[in-house]
């Protein structure tokens, strides 16, 4: 069965110790001055500063970034201190636009032990020995029109032994129909992470 071409960014599936992901994330703020688009599954990095309540600012990663984590939810409230009582919530926000009229609050999986599923951008069949236990960088993408999900994929042209690449490929997604044909669904962890001591604060 062919893999479906559906880039969704990175999706948490479990932890490296074999336990289930606890479906938790920490709150971060994307400032109104930020000029990038965001969706669920985007890789993010720390940026300098915070909002008035001390919620840290983040920005969108590039392929060469040292990541902080992955967006798993967009908060509908307008500020970190907004009460949901008698407040009109922005429930129509399914992705975050490049031009922002306000700050946005997101939940991020920033635990470096989490394993993620990500689609590879390969258009031909991969060879397991040339993928598994190797490393790769992401291709950073934007959400498709009307989609809440990131367009980020694993860059199949970067599979290599170089351990400074952002992602480590630990396996093929284990579910019926998943294979090494085009748009392979891979399990990855972060090789580099702000928690690993190889990071300089912004």
Task: Output the pLDDT for position 63.
Answer: 95
Pairing mode of beta strands 104-109, 26-30: antiparallel
* pLDDT tens digits for range 33-65: 999 999 999 999 999 999 999 999 999 999 999
* Residue, of 201 and 68, whose pLDDT is higher: 68
Task: Output the pLDDT for position 79.
Answer: 55
Task: Output the pLDDT for position 83.
Answer: 53
Task: Output the pLDDT for position 202.
Answer: 76
* pLDDT tens digits for range 148-158: 999 999 999 99
Instruction: Write b or e for each residue in 76-100: b if 16 or more Cβ atoms lie within 10 A of its Cβ, otherwise e.
Output: beeebeeeeeeeeeeeeeebbeeeb
* pLDDT tens digits for range 159-173: 999 999 999 999 999
Give the pLDDT band of residue 85 (cuts 50, 70, 90).
low
Give the pLDDT band of residue 89 (cuts 50, 70, 90).
low
Task: Output the pLDDT for position 196.
Answer: 87
Neighbours of 136 (CB within 10 A): 26
* pLDDT tens digits for range 90-137: 556 678 999 998 899 999 999 999 999 999 999 999 999 999 999 999
């Amino acid at each position: 069965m062919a893999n479906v071409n559906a880039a969704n960014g990175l999706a948490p599936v479990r932890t490296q110790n074999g336990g289930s992901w606890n479906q938790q994330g920490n709150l971060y703020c994307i400032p109104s001055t930020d000029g990038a688009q965001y969706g669920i599954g985007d890789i993010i990095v720390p940026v300098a500063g915070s909002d008035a309540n001390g919620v840290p600012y983040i920005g969108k990663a590039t392929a060469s970034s040292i990541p902080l984590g992955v967006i798993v939810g967009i908060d509908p409230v307008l500020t970190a201190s907004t009460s949901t009582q008698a407040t009109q919530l922005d429930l129509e926000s399914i992705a975050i636009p490049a031009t922002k009229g306000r700050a946005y609050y997101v939940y991020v999986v920033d635990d470096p032990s989490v394993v993620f599923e990500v689609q590879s951008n390969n258009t031909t069949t991969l060879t397991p020995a040339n993928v598994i236990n190797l490393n790769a960088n992401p291709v950073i993408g934007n959400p498709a029109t009307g989609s809440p999900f990131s367009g980020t994929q694993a860059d199949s042209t970067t599979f290599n032994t170089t351990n400074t690449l952002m992602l480590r490929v630990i396996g093929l997604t284990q579910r019926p129909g998943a294979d090494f044909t085009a748009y392979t669904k891979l399990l990855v962890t972060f090789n580099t992470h702000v928690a690993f001591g190889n990071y300089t604060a912004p």
